[in-house]
């Protein structure tokens, strides 16, 4: 027993030191730089306190819009990925010949680089010769053809749709793992009592999938709030700033040479993601128990 305690401490201390060196110290350094005027125009770095954060939360700036877009993107993609992921999992949990093939097909987009998906869907959603609009015209549904990535009113929803399509397979796999852990005796007992599909869903499936729901919700929120690549490859934050999110704002600000301000923006991304993820975890976890 004494040796086990020594071994456990022997592994714990290096892991803790590695965590401090690779995560805690860089975070503290980043927070320190966020309180300065560090930029490409001057070699002198001066302490400016919370000025960078005042600019971010200023009503006159565009950063509040980016924060709003990030929250909308994170919440909507979390809901859509979870709902469609669960629907696919329920469908592909049934026993039929091609289910393994279909599982692989639906999971495949998650394995492809978001930048490549962005490039592909830029062509698919092109307003003039895009595949989607051409199919709609062929079906005599011209009124549904839109400027998917150019129209400010729908550009964000187009990006949300592509992101949902890309990650719904991951949600499906996690839900499938949870469904396969449910004992068939629950279903058999419910059928004897005359329960239908929705009764099984409400009283058996959803309660016993609580762990999978927690995992998917947290992962979806983190991915949604820290999104960058799919937005940047599809719209670059445009048209105008209609799809600008915090991560693309960080990229633009850093590219403009305002390193201190971009670091402050990154700190805001981290804080918002941490607060929302931890709060959501605390809200959902009691239901799981």
Distance CA 254, CA 146 (A): 33
Q: What is the mean pLDDT of residues 130-157?
A: 90
Domain positions in the chain: 58-288
Q: Is 194 left (phi over 0), alpha (psi -120 to 50) or beta?
A: left
User: Are 233 and 115 spatial neighbours (Cβ–Cβ below 8 Å)?
Assistant: yes
Q: What is the mean pLDDT of residues 223-237?
A: 93
Whether 44 has a pLDDT exceeding 60, the answer reads yes
Distance CA 47, CA 40 (A): 16
Q: What is the mean pLDDT of residues 244-273?
A: 92
pLDDT for res 10:
67
Distance CA 1, CA 178 (A): 36
pLDDT band at 195 (very low <50, low <70, confident <90, very high): confident
Q: What is the mean pLDDT of residues 251-279?
A: 92
Residues 58-288, CATH architecture: Orthogonal Bundle (1.10)
Instruction: Kindly report the average pLDDT of the chain as a whole number.
Output: 89
Residue 129 has which token pair? 């010769």
Q: What is the mean pLDDT of residues 146-163?
A: 94
Q: What percent of the chain has pLDDT over 90?
A: 57
Residue 161 has which token pair? 């749709």
pLDDT for res 98:
87
pLDDT for res 4:
55
CA neighbor of 136 nearest in space, from 127, 144, 128: 144
Rounded to two decimals, the pTM is 0.89
Whether 107 has a pLDDT exceeding 70, the answer reads yes
pLDDT for res 169:
95
Whether 196 has a pLDDT exceeding 90, the answer reads no
Whether 142 has a pLDDT exceeding 90, the answer reads no
Q: What is the mean pLDDT of residues 107-123?
A: 92
pLDDT tens, position by position, 65-76: 999 999 999 999
CA neighbor of 246 nearest in space, from 114, 79, 68: 68
pLDDT for res 289:
47
Whether 184 has a pLDDT exceeding 70, the answer reads yes
pLDDT for res 27:
85
Contacts of 180 by beta carbon, 8 Å cutoff, 6+ apart: 93
Structure-model confidence comparison of residues 217 and 188, the more confident one: 217
pLDDT for res 288:
45
Say how many residues make up the chain.
Answer: 289
pLDDT band at 152 (very low <50, low <70, confident <90, very high): very high
User: Are 48 and 199 spatial neighbours (Cβ–Cβ below 8 Å)?
Assistant: no
Strand-pair partners of 39: 42
Q: What is the mean pLDDT of residues 131-135?
A: 91
């Amino acid at each position: 027993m004494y040796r086990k305690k020594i071994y456990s401490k022997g592994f714990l201390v290096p892991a803790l030191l590695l965590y401090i060196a690779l995560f805690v110290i860089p975070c503290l350094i980043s927070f320190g730089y966020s309180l300065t005027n560090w930029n490409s125009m001057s070699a002198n770095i001066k302490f400016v306190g919370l000025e960078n954060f005042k600019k971010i939360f200023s009503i006159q700036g565009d950063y509040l819009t980016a924060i709003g877009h990030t929250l909308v993107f994170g919440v909507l993609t979390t809901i859509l990925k979870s709902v469609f992921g669960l629907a696919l999992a329920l469908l592909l949990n049934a026993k039929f010949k091609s289910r393994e093939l279909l599982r692989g097909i639906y999971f495949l987009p998650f394995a492809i680089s978001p930048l490549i998906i962005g490039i592909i869907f830029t062509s698919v959603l092109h307003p003039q010769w895009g595949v989607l609009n051409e199919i709609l015209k062929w079906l005599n549904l011209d009124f549904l053809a839109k400027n998917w990535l150019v129209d400010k009113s729908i550009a964000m929803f187009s990006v949300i749709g592509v992101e949902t399509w890309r990650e719904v397979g991951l949600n499906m796999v996690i839900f499938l793992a949870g469904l396969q852990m449910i004992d068939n005796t629950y279903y058999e007992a419910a059928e004897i009592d005359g329960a239908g599909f929705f009764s099984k869903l409400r009283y058996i499936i959803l309660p016993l999938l609580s762990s999978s729901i927690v995992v998917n919700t947290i992962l979806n929120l983190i991915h949604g709030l820290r999104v960058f690549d799919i937005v940047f490859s599809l719209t670059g934050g445009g048209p105008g700033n209609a799809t600008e999110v915090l991560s693309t704002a960080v990229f633009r600000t850093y590219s403009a040479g305002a390193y201190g301000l971009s670091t402050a923006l990154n700190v805001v991304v981290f804080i918002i993601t941490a607060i929302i993820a931890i709060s959501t975890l605390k809200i959902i976890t009691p239901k799981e128990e």
